[in-house]
Structure 1
Amino acid sequence: MDRIALVTGAGRGIGAATARELGRRGYHVVVNYRRDADAAAAVVRAIETDGGTARAVRADVCDPGAVADLVDACTRVDALVCNANIPPPFAPLAELSWDDFAGKVTGELAAVFHVTRLVLERMRRQGGGGIVYVSSLSADLLRPGTVAHATAKAALDTFARHVAAEAGRHGIAVNTVAPGPVRTEATAAMRTAETEAAFARRSTLGRMLDPEDVATVIATVLASGFGAVSGARIPVDAGYTVLN
């Protein structure tokens, strides 16, 4: 039976790169998206061009009803990648409204809570599976204007550890990948040549990250013998945390 991977927020960036990488590794990929059907269709075509199989399914993963339909559309789920992006407000606390702050934190958790609950139920019946949450190095760093984003990602990290503790006895490995700054559409407005160069100078590998860097780690954790690793948080940061 084909292994099936469900990747949320898979229309672009890290999610799209992960969907393509999992397709190359033999998964049938369910490419979840919320708005951009054309982008999701392009990811499906790329997977098929590489010899894999995939389909796009629209669902807002913050909506429990939509999530139920999304999971029902999967005959099984062997791998779940929670990558859906909730755009954060970038501002210091003094300039944030409660609604903006709470919207990011609760949105981040809603985007993993509903899909995790239903997929865990499916994986328990199947006898195992793997889950990877896409967090961020921001949870560890004190940078101006990132209080909402950092708090949300720190909450996600805690959520993931509890899921790992509950799911392990059912043969389900749960891990978190925490990228540093990645060249994606979502980060384009914040990136400049100067900021990229500064990150490269302060990382051991001396370079910025691309979505494929993160996707390779996610797919390797899910597909290549990491069954004995669970509850881990894996930084993908070109060695930035080693020097900082």
Structure 2
Amino acid sequence: MERTALITGAGRGIGAVTAQELARRGFRAIVNYRTDTAAAASVVERIEAAGGTARAVRADVRDPGEVDKLVGACPRVDALICNANISPPFAPLAELSWADFAGKITGELAAVFHVTQRVLTLMRKQRGGQIVYVSSISAGLARPGAIAHGTAKAALDSFARHVAAEAGAWGIAVNVVAPGAVRTEGSAAMRTPEVERSLARRSVLGRMVDPEDVAAVIGAVVDGGFGAVTGAHIPVDAGAQLIPG
């Protein structure tokens, strides 16, 4: 039986590379996207050109009605990768509006709440499955201007632990992969050569993280020897958290 992986926010960046990685491992990739049809179609084309199977499905995963249609398009879900990102406002608390702060928190949680609920219904019937939430090391760090982003990711990490505790009875494993600074299209505007050099110096391995690094870890978690691992938080940051400051 062909395994199916549903990857939210898979039109670009970490999600797109993860979809390709899971397709390479033999999963049928459901490439979820919200707005950029051409980007999602390109991901599907790359997967099919490499001999894999994929389908693009548009849905805003914050909307329960659209999530119903998204999950309804999946005959089964063996792996759910919650990667859809809600762009945060970067500002100190004194300059941050409640609307912007709350929008990031509620958007982050809505993007995992509805799809997790629906997919768990399928996985319970299947008596198994893997869920991976893509978080950030920002959940455990305090940086000026990142209060909304860090708080939202900390809430996501807590949500994941509770899902892991509830889902284990059905053989469903739930884990968090938490990247550090990743070299993606979304971060391109902020990544000057000096910023990249600075980030590399602040990591043990002396390098930034690429989307392929994150996708490889996700692939190993859902398709490797992680059957007895659930509730784990796996940083993918080239050792950036090991160096103070």
TM-score (norm 1): 0.99
Name the structure 1 match of 2:14: 14
Provide the C-alpha distance between the structure 1 equivalents of 2:202 and 2:184, rounded to a whole number of angstroms.
Answer: 20
Partner amino acid for 1:18? T
Name the structure 2 match of 1:242: 242
Q: Which moved more, 1:192-201 or 1:83-92?
A: 192-201
Map residues 135-150 of structure 1 onto 2, 5 A cutoff: 135-150=135-150
1:65 Cα offset (Å): 0.2
Per-residue CA deviations over 1:190-209 (Å, capped at 9, x if unaligned) read 22222211111121110011
Name the structure 2 match of 1:35: 35
1:202 aligns with 2:202: yes
Name the structure 1 match of 2:77: 77
Partner amino acid for 1:215? A
Provide the C-alpha distance between the structure 2 equivalents of 1:186 and 1:123, rounded to a whole number of angstroms.
Answer: 32
1:95 Cα offset (Å): 0.7
Name the structure 1 match of 2:53: 53
1:94 aligns with 2:94: yes
Name the structure 2 match of 1:165: 165
Provide the C-alpha distance between the structure 2 equivalents of 1:216 and 1:49, rounded to a whole number of angstroms.
Answer: 20
Q: Which portions of structure 1, spanning 4 or more consecutive aligned residues, are displaced by more than 3 angstroms?
A: none
Per-residue CA deviations over 1:80-134 (Å, capped at 9, x if unaligned) read 0000010000111111100000000000000000000010111000010000000
Partner amino acid for 2:142? L
Secondary structure of the residue aligned to 1:186 is coil
Provide the C-alpha distance between the structure 1 equivalents of 2:109 and 2:75, rounded to a whole number of angstroms.
Answer: 25
Gaps of 5+ in 2: none
Secondary structure of the residue aligned to 2:157 is helix
Name the structure 2 match of 1:184: 184
1:180 Cα offset (Å): 0.3
Name the structure 1 match of 2:156: 156
1:222 aligns with 2:227: no
Map residues 106-125 of structure 1 onto 2, 5 A cutoff: 106-125=106-125
1:187 Cα offset (Å): 1.3
1:189 Cα offset (Å): 2.3
Secondary structure of the residue aligned to 1:87 is coil
Name the structure 2 match of 1:211: 211
Provide the C-alpha distance between the structure 1 equivalents of 2:166 and 2:242, rounded to a whole number of angstroms.
Answer: 31
Provide the C-alpha distance between the structure 2 equivalents of 1:91 and 1:55, rounded to a whole number of angstroms.
Answer: 38
Partner amino acid for 1:104? K
Partner amino acid for 1:71? V
Gaps of 5+ in 1: none
Per-residue CA deviations over 1:157-201 (Å, capped at 9, x if unaligned) read 000000000001110000000000001121122222222111111
Of all paired residues, the percent bearing the same amino acid is: 72
CA RMSD of aligned residues (A): 0.7
For these two proteins, the number of residue pairs brought into alignment is: 244
Name the structure 1 match of 2:2: 2
Name the structure 2 match of 1:134: 134
Name the structure 2 match of 1:64: 64
Name the structure 2 match of 1:24: 24
